[in-house]
Structure 1
Amino acid sequence: MAPICGVQFLVLLYAMALVFQAALASDPSPVQDFCIAEKNSPVFINGLACKDPTLATAADFFFAGLDVPGNTMNRVGSNVTLVNAAVLPGLNTLGVSIARIDYAPYGLNPPHTHPRATELLTVLEGTLYVGFVTSNPENRLFVKTLRRGDVYVFPAGLVHFQFNVGNVDAVAIAALSSQNPGVVTVANAVFGTRPPVAEDVLTKAFGVDKGVIDELRAQFNQVGS
């Protein structure tokens, strides 16, 4: 085999760095059969500490309640019941979670992102209009109307939404590729912060006057800066 020259070595090193970075872009792989979350541990780590595996029971791998409809009596008419490692300890280090999403008639799961997970949505009941937006500068919108049994994927980190276009309740199940996917709801992140984002920032960013910003902030019980 011919020796690798300096330039080839640098290219190889760069490629390896990219692969390594991609490997770190999701939850770490487990190095044992399971790691039951010890929620009361004083140890602060990137995730949840493990309890003694000899103390594990079947209950650590069990959650009941996704058959119960969520309360959609709110401003947007939707409710998310998330099952992550915080409520199902056996999920800790396994890199997955699940959620039930309930939608009132014409209810909305507002535009949001999951910073640590791709989402796979399956419609159980009703009709949903769903979509996601690609990153700058393209900002391309992909949308689809889903019915019972349909599946749609929202890539990790991209803004997405679901809207119940029917006059009956809708239900979906979301599988997520992280034990703690996180959620950043766009409107809340902009207009519902504590303390509030500076008014000059928002008026310039959205190209509107102070009155519009105040009106939007009022939806989140937010006071001006």
Structure 2
Amino acid sequence: MSLPKLFIIFCFLVSFTSATSVIDFCVADFNFPVGPAGYPCRNPANLTVDDFVFSGLGVAGNTSNIFRVGVTAAFDLTFPALNGLGLSMARLDIGVGGVVPIHSHRVSEVIMVIEGTIIAGFISSDNTAYFKTLNRGDIMIFPHTLLHFQVNVGETPALAFVSLNSANPGFQFFTTSIGANDLPTDVVQKITLLDAAQVQRVKRIFGGTN
């Protein structure tokens, strides 16, 4: 094939790709199942400015739970306009002595402390712990997939906001992962070095069996 013909085909493919893959936004349509790239798009003709506004982060979360933490999420399921845009946010209300227990997700996260004092940190794949006391205005990054946590070490409730580079970041908490299922206690003992009483306590708290 001659060079001019190859150039014409290349230009056609570039223009076709640009026309079909670049859109302004894709507000999630929950009438259809989610796929690897997110939800299908709602018809833009039926959208208003209110579809692009989320007010939930202005309301304090409920901290009356075992971890004394309230998490208010602006993810695609709660804020459909984030669908396909590769970002999300959450509000963390951490009561005195409260914690965001050690967990991981498939994307990176930035935390900014608004009020209070917390210890925040993550553990790298070589088991190095990176942690520091953060105060109002401080920010910290948690690299994707690595275990991380926050602990309120102040004498007042703490407030922080986080941003993640996915509309659906996916969370896995270590404590609930071992306690909220039917994995046998003796197996959990072997893989965690916890004793049977500790395993059973975690299972009672989070509804697990066996």
Determine if the alignment matches structure 1 residue 199 to structure 2 residue 190.
no
Tell me the equivalent position of 2:130. 142
The answer on 1:120 being equivalent to 2:110 is yes
From 159, 171, 196, the counterpart of 1:183: 171
Bigger shift: residues 206-215 or 93-102: 206-215
Query: Deviation of residue 201 (structure 1)?
Result: 1.8
Alignment of 1:1-225 (within 5 A): 31-41=22-32, 43-46=33-36, 47-115=38-106, 117-135=107-125, 138-193=126-181, 196-224=182-210
CA distance, structure 2, for counterparts of residue 110 and residue 212 of structure 1 = 17
Higher helix share: 2
Q: Distance in 2 between matches of 1:219 and 1:31?
A: 47
**Corresponding residue number in structure 2 for 1:8:** none
Deviation for aligned residue 1:67? 1.6
Q: Give structure 2 stretches of 5+ with no counterpart.
A: 1-20
Distance 1:71 1:200 in 2: 34
3-state secondary structure, aligned to 1:39: coil
Displacement after TM superposition at 1:36 (Å) = 1.1
Structure 1 residue ranges without an equivalent (≥5): 1-29
Paired residues, number: 189
Q: What TM-score comes out, normalization by structure 1 length? A: 0.80
Using the alignment, how far apart are the partners of 1:200 and 1:98 within structure 2? 38
Shift of 1:171: 0.2
Q: Which secondary structure does the structure 1 equivalent of 2:144 belong to?
A: coil
How many angstroms does 1:44 deviate by?
A: 4.4
Aligned counterparts of 1:208 and 1:81: Cα–Cα separation in 2: 31
TM-score (norm 2): 0.85
Instruction: Tell me how far 1:175 sits from its aligned partner.
Output: 0.5
Identity in percent: 38
Instruction: Give the whole-Å Cα distance in 2 for the aligned partners of 1:144 and 1:179.
Output: 27
Aligned AA (1:103): I
The 2-side partners of 1:171 and 1:211 are apart by 34
In 1: Cα distance, 2:83 partner to 2:159 partner: 26
